[in-house]
Chain A
Amino acid sequence: MSKGIWIVVEQRNAQIRKVSLELLSQARLIANETGDPLVAVVLGQNIQDLAQEVASYGADKVILVDNEKLAEYTTGAYTSVLNKLIRKKEPNAVLIGNTAMGKDLAPRLAQRLGVGLASDCTGMEKDDANFLTFKRPIYGGKAFAQVATDSKPVMATIRPNTFPIAAPDTAHQAEVVTEAAEIDQDDLRAILKEVIIAASERPELTEAEIIVSGGRAMKGPENFPMLEALADVVGGAVGASRAAVDAGWIDQEFQVGQTGKTVSPVLYIACGISGAIQHLAGMSSSKVIVAINKDPEANIFNVADYGIVGDIFEIVPLLTEEIKKLVS
């Protein structure tokens, strides 16, 4: 009996993160090939209702760990619980989204289990010798490494927006089991005092399907509403280059690039961004790139699928209007 492919489902306030559904969808296809049951592991508080939702994305089995100590993600409690579950049930693979949570949780869990971990993968396939093999961008996307491990479980974190989400099948049922939260005292040393989530109508940058980014050409914070207007027409997020962030026009959390976020949207619109290598490091895995820049020689045009040579202050409002007409 195969021991399963586990997806650690990330939720916040009983809302499942998009990347977890992407992972369930893709792992479903792989589980069909390997014959493993697909298992969704959900940690949190008051999360029973999520079982049916993950089942509809293909999970054969749902493991729920419902405990007040798991209400918010903390490194210690989550590591404790998952380490014990994994040791008990010995899955073949454990996959986690490469989110703020995943980046913090996965390495600690892997170390505790004494196994390898493939981080921030943009490809995942069945592999006869190693169960799974992963593709990961390195050197800011300037190269790829194909990696595998012979340790078990095979562990990886997967970059958001890498895999499409399958259409949910609400008729699909899963076996639901509830497990107790076993947490070591040592794992409660760090105390989460406060979670501050900026209220925003826009999607979070790393999971946004469309990103409108502004660079030094934005000239000042007063011009960002122009980008927000375009983002809102397409349901996207706003990002920025380091030049705009360092100038203090927009918060660091919106910076895209090597010292900022790595994003993989379906559409990335770079407005007045020159296309420095460190900026490309954060967005070159975008599916379609658009550049608007008044310098026809700007490097961004070398990676852009579509470009307009022109002034952003003229083009962006016009584009916003044109798209509004198209999508309404």
Chain B
Amino acid sequence: MNIVVVIKQTFDTEAKIVLKDGQIDPSGVSLVINPYDEFAIEEALRIQKKFGGEVTVVSCGGPRSQEAIRTALAMGCDKGVQIDETALESVDEYVRAEVLAKAISEMPYDIILGGRIAVDDRSSQVAVRLAEALNIPSVSSVVKLDIENNIATATREIDGGTEIIEVPLPAMITAQKGLNEPRYPTMPGIMKARKKELKVINPADLGVSDLSAKMKVQNYSLPTPRQGGKKIEGEPAEAARELARLLREEAKVL
């Protein structure tokens, strides 16, 4: 089974967001693998354990994204590919999906795994767009996956329930929390990862250097911080009564 995992490097979830010259300032922020992509990596390794084959991890990003790829290799993936997006003029979900599709279409793959959403741009687009660009079916937000005879049976989370979908491989699966418990890289894993292949691809080599983003960011802003409001004092019974009253009369939400 040839397995491809697409991962994105994101800000650590605790990171404070600072604007500098109107842009989001990445300096000093620690970067991690997008938490949902960790589920995808874990699932890839479990599929590999069952069916054999190779796990290739692919990420589109700047030079620092190699750290994320190395971490995935330390978890047990076999090969890494970084598509250097600094060479592109502008990127959005469309451009990333096109570039990833070009790179992946040149590799053998039976299944592609990714995350349900990247926690930085919060788009929930790239993985599904990638499936469309490769003309393969996809199941998003998957919490359970079984593969047999080249057919994947995926349980997908929907609003208020779940769906069970059967899809022939090759297919794209996006991971939701609950799919598995991602492993941590081990010391021997980290040592081994240093020697694993990490190929860097320039988008120009894929013949897609002329792509430009469809979405334009007009500006970034920070939310006006929420203010801590009224702390209601008093005996529990009194406080509860006062809270109910305020919710009805002042906030008008009851």
Interface set of A (CB-CB < 8 Å, partner B): 75-76, 79, 99-101, 103-104, 106-108, 110-112, 114-120, 130, 133, 136-151, 186, 189-198, 200, 204-207, 210, 234, 252-253, 255, 258-260, 266-267, 277-278, 281, 284, 287-290, 296, 301-311, 314-315, 318-319, 321-323, 325-327
Contacts across chains A and B counted by CB atoms under 8 Å: 262
Q: Which partner residue on chain A sits nearest B158 by CB separation? A: A100
14 sampled A-B residue pairs with Cβ under 8 A:
A104-B140, A143-B221, A144-B220, A189-B137, A190-B138, A195-B158, A200-B160, A253-B161, A259-B36, A278-B13, A288-B251, A319-B244, A326-B244, A326-B254
Query: For chain B, what secondary structure do more than half of its interface residues adopt (helix, strand, loop), or is it mixed?
Result: mixed
Q: Does B88 count as interface, using CB distance less than 8 angstroms?
A: no
- Cβ of B245: which chain A residues have Cβ within 8 Å of it? 322, 326
Contact of A190 with B244 at beta-carbon distance under 8 Å, contacts A103-B141, A119-B122, A140-B119 already known: no
Contact of A197 with B160 at beta-carbon distance under 8 Å, contacts A318-B236, A319-B240 already known: yes
Cα A119 to Cα B119 in complex, Å, equals 13
Q: Does B190 count as interface, using CB distance less than 8 angstroms?
A: no
Query: For chain A, what secondary structure do more than half of its interface residues adopt (helix, strand, loop), or is it mixed?
Result: mixed
Q: How many residues of B contact A (CB 8 A)?
A: 83
> Does B167 lie within 8 Å of A195, measured CB to CB?
no
Q: Which partner residue on chain B sits nearest A300 by CB separation? A: B228
> Does B218 lie within 8 Å of A307, measured CB to CB?
no
Q: Does B19 count as interface, using CB distance less than 8 angstroms?
A: yes
B138 contact from A75, A114, A192, A325, Cβ within 8 A: A75
> Does B216 lie within 8 Å of A148, measured CB to CB?
yes
Q: Which partner residue on chain B sits nearest A267 by CB separation? A: B253
Interface set of B (CB-CB < 8 Å, partner A): 11, 13-17, 19, 24, 35-36, 92-94, 97, 117, 119-126, 128-129, 131-133, 135, 137-141, 143, 153, 156-168, 171, 177-178, 213-223, 226, 228-232, 236-237, 239-241, 243-248, 251, 253-254
> Does A110 lie within 8 Å of B94, measured CB to CB?
yes
Cα A210 to Cα B232 in complex, Å, equals 20
